Amino acid sequence: MALRDKLAARAQPYLAPGESVQHVFQAQTGPTPYFFFLTLLIIFWIRYRIVVVTDQRILVLQAGALTATKPKGDSPVAVLPRETVLGPVSGLWGTTEATGEKLRVHKRFHKDIAAADAAIRP
């Protein structure tokens, strides 16, 4: 099973009836991941997130530190209107603050952010 499919399947309990996932990607809070090479204490600063873009809204879910693909908690960290623009992002670890917190998104998910933003523009 592909990573995006796994994330979408695990986000299903947080969706409303009839709501469908359009895009999904992983992100993290905290300092730039490059600091990982300086100290192992960064593990205590980083919080992992799963951002789920549906046809109705955008959900930001908390993920586990050891299993960053599994949402945890009973409710989303943030719920945003679908019209929220997430990008643009650039670089190896692009940054977006559209969710209310500074999220760093790896380059492999930049195309998901671009596609989610393109879907709301006429």
Domain coordinates of the chain in residue numbers?
A: 3-13+20-120
- Cα separation, 22 vs 11, whole angstroms: 12
**Which of 97, 78, 89, 91 has the alpha carbon at shortest distance from 113?**
89
CATH 2.30.29 fits 3-13+20-120, yes or no: yes
Per-residue confidence of the chain (122 residues) as pLDDT tens digits?
Answer: 799 999 999 999 999 999 999 999 999 987 665 655 666 666 677 889 999 999 999 999 999 888 889 999 989 999 999 999 999 999 999 999 998 899 999 999 999 999 999 998 76
Is this structure's pTM higher than 0.75? yes
